[in-house]
Structure formats: C-alpha cells, structure tokens
Amino acid sequence: MNVLLLSPGYPAEMPEFARGLAEVGATVIGVGDQPAEALPERTRRALAAYVRVRSLFDEARCVEELRAELGGRRIDRVESLWEPLMLLAARLREALGARGLGVEATVPFRDKEVMKRRLDAAGIRTPRHVAAHNAAECWEAAERIGFPLILKPIAGAGSADTWRCDDADELRAVLPRIAHVPVVSVEEFVDGEEYTFDTVTIDGEVRYYNVAWYRPRPLLARSNEWISPQVIALREPDAPALAGGVAMGLAVIAALGFDTGFTHMEWYRKADGEVVFGEIGARPPGAHQVDQMNYACDFDVFREWARAVTAGRFEARIERRYNVASVFKRAHGQGTISAIEGLEELYRRHGAAIAWNHLLPVGARRRNWKQTLVSDGFLLVRHPELATTLAIADEIGERVQLYAR
C-alpha cells in the first residue's frame, strides 16, 4: 500500500507514526515543506520517498505540485495527523482518488460551529454556541448565551486563543486579543471535569479507546504559569462515572461519519453527572498522549493505528495495566535551564513508577509555556492504582522544580 504522509517530521510524534506505517509494510511517501535532510533520522529511515513542496498551507498549489511529482503513481491513503493539514489531506484524497474522508466529511472536524450544529441535530448535548465574525457579534452572542462564556477559534487546536469571560468587563478586555481570529465560537462555559475520548476506528467501528483526565482543566492550566499541568490516561475507562462520556463519544463518531483512523475528543462531566461534548478532531491527541497509551497498555499504538489504516485490522490484545500520568513542568525564570531540584529524591521514593524522564536538561533553553503544553518537558508516571498515580503526580508538581537564568 502506498501512503502519502503529510508533515512526517513535525510535530514531535510524527516520526513514530511514520515508523508504524513502515513496520506494517506500507510504502511511505513523505510530503513536507522542509528539506529532507532536516527531517528526524527516524522519519528518514521510515520513508521510501520524500516530496518537498513549496508550502503545505497553499492547498491548491500543493495539490498540483504533488500531482505532477507523483506522475500518476497510485496512492491508496493520504494521512495527516496534524490539525492544520486536515483539509489539505482531504483535498489530496479527492484529487488522487485515495480512500478516507473527503472535504465535506472533514469540515465538521475542523469548523467547531459546523461540528456542534451536526451534533445538535443528532441530539448530543453540546454547549450553547454562536459563531461570531466581529466584536459586535461577540456582544450579541454574549447576550444570548449569558456569562460565564468561552471564546475560541472555530478552526483552532488545543487551547490557543481560547478565553473565559465571566462578565462584560472581561469580554471587553479579551476582544482586542482575539481581533486576529477571523471567526470565533462563543460558547456556554461548562463547569465540570474535563476528559478525552481517543479512538482508533476502522470503518466506523471503534476498535480501541482511551480516556484521559485533565488536571486541572486546560484553560486554567494555560492561564497560570505556576501550575504543572497533568494528563492522566485512566486504567479503567469503563468505570461507571465515565460511562456517559464513552457513550457520547461513540455517538459523536457515528453522527459525524468518521471512518478509519485516529480521533481525539474532549468532553466535560458536570458535578450532577451530566456529560457535555467539547470538541473532536480527526487526528490523535498531541503532547505525547499516544505515548501515554503505549505505557498504559504495553503495546505499540503507533503500529496498530498504521495497521488499521492500511489493512483494516487492529491486532494488539488490549489489556490496560496502568494509570499513566504526564506531569508537565515550567521553569522558574528565563533563559537556559540552570538547575533541577527534587528529581533525585523523587527517584529515591518512586523510581519504579517513573517510566519516562523527558525534562529539558541543564543548559537547554526554556520554551514558551504559552505556546506548548509540553513546556520545559515532563515526567511520566505509571502505576496500577489511581490514587497512588495521582499522589506521585502531585508530588512532582510540588517538589520537582526547574530553574532558568
């Protein structure tokens, strides 16, 4: 099978998806706008060929360049696992006659208003929502929905350019900050715990799923630098408290007509038990959450996704052995990492539970925490008992500290 893989070297997990495809026997043709020599070594090993285009974000030109470069070569699948390239992948499928979601089927996964209207029609509980193209329409939406409310780009990913407004003064302060966003979704603020529902799906049938818990909610975490955000892949996604979210996730995939590949959905559970849809993407979660799934089940999710999209099979035995917590750290100060405190003591106390140390080393330049959840790296913890997992994760948040100068 010939698979066109868009942006095979970025974001950070993409080399693993390229590897997975190669390991199940696919001929992987990478497409990107960077030189081949700039790709990670693991990506280069996985690719049978690489096509460099002028820009991945000029969709019409990219389609024509690839048509000419491929010269009629048969392409069976076009895969993109990066949110901004979902529509390009859809246009290429239509242009090259490859299987998978076309443009019309992809739009509801990119446009949050179209997404929610489709789910409203299917009877799925979504936050009250209105699309707004300018400040005046935001004010009109606020009057209809009421405070508190959330403003987010209709085609955004993660929590970038997402704001909570509790009253008119806060809305007035936020509007200039999102003036560069063409269309925003103004939504009811849903007060509750936030979870994911992540799937590998084959011909509309969910063959594997993962539920992760955000501690605290992403919007709160991205608003406070001192917080060490946690993502917890739960060992028991079928627990009664999560059943409503899982059922809703299955209904969402059916309502949107997703066929084969990865999906990443976010949802809320309110204090009274009501579950409310958040949003869904036709791609995997970022911030190394697929690695979390590997550590939770001890099988290669990257390879099983590849087998699903190339052969229509998921062969791994699903045995959830661990809760897995990723704890993301943000250094104190600016510049380069100068010291890491508390790590030796953590290993002394919990070394058997620390599965992965992905913190930036001393001497590395710290990252902009507002632009990436991974921030200055993370520690990954796994343990069969949820209470123990959370206790260690909280200890990392409190006692492991990075300093920069």
Residue 157 has pLDDT above 80, yes or no: no
Cβ atoms within 10 A of the Cβ of 123, count? Answer: 8
| Mean pLDDT, range 13-21, rounded to an integer | 97
Distances (CA, A) of 295 to 7, 211, 318, 339: 25, 14, 12, 28
pLDDT at 37 over 90: yes
The backbone torsions φ and ψ at residue 380, rounded to the nearest 5 degrees and listed phi first, read -110, 125
Q: Quick one: pLDDT at residue 155?
A: 77
pLDDT over 70, % of the chain: 99
Split at pLDDT 50, 70, 90, the class of 370 is confident
Count Cα atoms within 13 angstroms, Cβ side, for 30. 29
261 beta partners: 201
Task: Round to whole Å and give the CA distance between 389 and 139.
Answer: 43
Residue-wise pLDDT for 280-332, tens only, equals 999 999 999 999 999 999 999 999 999 999 999 999 999 999 999 999 999 99
Higher pLDDT, 338 or 162: 338
Instruction: Check residue 158 and give its pLDDT.
Output: 60
Tell how strand 49-52 and strand 27-32 pair up. parallel
Predicted model pTM = 0.93
Q: How far apart are CA 327 and CA 396, in angstroms?
A: 7
pLDDT single digits (tens) 96-154: 999 999 999 999 999 989 999 999 999 999 999 999 999 999 999 999 999 999 999 98
Please give the pLDDT value at position 203.
97
Q: What is the mean pLDDT of the chain?
A: 96
Q: Which residue has the tokens 């300093």?
A: 403
